[in-house]
Structure 1
Amino acid sequence: MKKVLTIAGSDCSGGAGIQADLKTFSAHGVFGMSVITAVTAQNTQGVFAVQDITRDVIAKQIEAIFDDIEVDGVKIGMVSQVQTIEVIAEQLSNYAPQIIVLDPVMVSKSGYHLLNPEAEATLIKELLPMAMIVTPNIPEAEVMTNSSIQTLKQMEEAAKAIFQMGAKNVLLKGGHLEEDSIDILFDGQEFSYFSSSRIATKNTHGTGCTLSSAITANLALGHTLNKAVSLAKEYITIAIQNSLSIGKGVGPTHHFYTLYKKAGLI
């Protein structure tokens, strides 16, 4: 069994962050492990507080995993402090995993800014060049490029700009556009497009975490980058189509819908 690590924040409501990552790993048949960078007080209505884990404890978590277990892939999610980003970069540089997927979590769906400008700059400088692929959504890409993105052409220009920052591959997610959801993958030379019809649901809590974790799992399973993205896009689409109306706000996706259906549970 492949072993996959998520380095991210905890979502106490279970729809995003570490919890969504581990559910996604399990749904893909890989063994999930976690390094928690922050504990958040959040639910389907928003993020209300963040308690960051200390640099030393983050370092010890990473050491405990890599010194004992072979890691086949790493997903990096919410890393809100400069010290957090720096220690992750130091440790991953030391252990040098081949597969690193960076989900630059900067702004929550409710508009909560999870990174200050200094941390954003450090993330771009330290973690972006280490990643096999970075997976920003449009608001995150706007922050990274200091530009407005409202069209597919502007998405392409932003992907090129992020590539120039040191990214090896850029998957810019188009879920925030008004038309069909088109994600674009740029490898520095050409674009690949991954399209799906827009799903009429408000329940999209944790979609970014889930997609990046699915990409990580599929890469660890040996798929090419394009295939890993395609399979992850298919997975998140099914999860959104069968999302769960849990809570009073933006509900979570259904990470186990396909498995539950095969098991006759739904």
Structure 2
Amino acid sequence: MTNEYIQALTIAGNDSDGSAGMPADMLSFFRRGVYGMGLLTSAVSGNSYQIEAAQIMPEEFITQQFKTLAKDFHIRASKTGMLANRAVINTVADNYQKVDFGPLVVDPVIITKHGSMLLEQDAYETFREKLLPMAFVLTPNFYEAQKLTELPLENEKEVADSAKLLQKLGAKNVMIKGRHDNEHQDVVSDYVLLENGDNFWLTEPYVHTDRVNGTGDSLSAVITAEVAKGRDVATAIKIAKKFVHQAIANPIDVGHKFGPINHWAPTEEE
């Protein structure tokens, strides 16, 4: 029957080189067996060397995409990616509350994995106040968790405390991604705090490679896909962690410099 096939949505920007943003989300959806849809917020002209131009979608167009999709489809889970500025964040947050697009996985995309700020301060504050409380799952990287909680995260206790603070800000389930910017480290450990109070660490070997574009996008997209399929959140997060590790550990040769992860590498064992 119509709309019985599992559908998931990414609300994100498009990277023209296919390595991150909406392309990485759509590849992840496909590999996890759900039908993916894309609500475009921005687009960048980039390659493996650099981003050379960017365009933010008009608020009216973003709103119209929400209305158009809501008329036709049964979207069972959604995720956000790059939301560019205060106006876009407000538009997405306001419209999401008017539709039924399932639980929302929020990938903050406010600070790079190397610690560089991606949003202006007013956009960051809007994200923290309006979008973060809507998160069924929040997936900040190490630096984003630092910024959002104002904790240094120098040990496991501070990481756990920061997850509790993020729950107090409204996020139901939190996955704080471990640092992976030190060439001397041996593992990458992520901390998970669930809505019911359960918590655990997920650890995989650190892979020395510059083929890591789209890592965070793909992680949150796989979580979204598994939630759409009806998985419990702990299982969804564990599948996503292993998926991304396998995609990083088996690189593909695309581009000259900073390449994409390999979405074809993960197995379908789960």
TM-score normalised over the length of structure 2? 0.90
The question of whether the paired residues in 2 share the 8 Å contact of 1:137 and 1:176 is answered with no
Matched, 1:168 2:176: no
Q: Secondary structure at the residue paired with 2:92?
A: helix
2:245 aligns to what? 237
**TM alignment of 1:84-95, pairs within 5 A:** 84-95=88-99
The question of whether the paired residues in 1 share the 8 Å contact of 2:80 and 2:106 is answered with yes
Q: Which runs of 5+ in 2 are unaligned?
A: none
- Pair 1:69–1:228, CA change in 2 (3 A): same
Q: Aligned partners of 1:111, 1:245: CA distance in 2, in Å?
A: 26
**What's the CA shift string for 1:215-243, capped at 9, x where partnerless?**
00011111100000011111111111112
The question of whether the paired residues in 2 share the 8 Å contact of 1:239 and 1:257 is answered with yes
- Pair 1:50–1:150, CA change in 2 (3 A): farther
Q: Aligned partners of 1:55, 1:116: CA distance in 2, in Å?
A: 18
- Pair 1:167–1:12, CA change in 2 (3 A): same
1:185 aligns to what? 192
RMSD (Å) for aligned C-alpha atoms = 2.0
Residue identity matched to 2:40? I
Residue identity matched to 1:180? V
Q: Aligned partners of 2:53, 2:113: CA distance in 1, in Å?
A: 15
Q: Secondary structure at the residue paired with 1:129?
A: helix
Q: Which runs of 5+ in 1 are unaligned?
A: none
Residue 122 (structure 1) shift: 0.8
**TM alignment of 1:105-120, pairs within 5 A:** 105-109=109-113, 113-120=117-124
| More moved, 26-35 vs 79-88 | 79-88
Q: Aligned partners of 1:67, 1:87: CA distance in 2, in Å?
A: 18
Residue identity matched to 2:206? R
> How many residues were matched structurally?
261
**TM alignment of 1:1-266, pairs within 5 A:** 1-109=5-113, 113-176=117-180, 178-187=185-194, 189-258=197-266
Q: Secondary structure at the residue paired with 2:69?
A: helix
The question of whether the paired residues in 1 share the 8 Å contact of 2:113 and 2:142 is answered with no
TM-score normalised over the length of structure 1? 0.91
Q: Secondary structure at the residue paired with 1:182?
A: strand
The question of whether the paired residues in 1 share the 8 Å contact of 2:42 and 2:57 is answered with yes
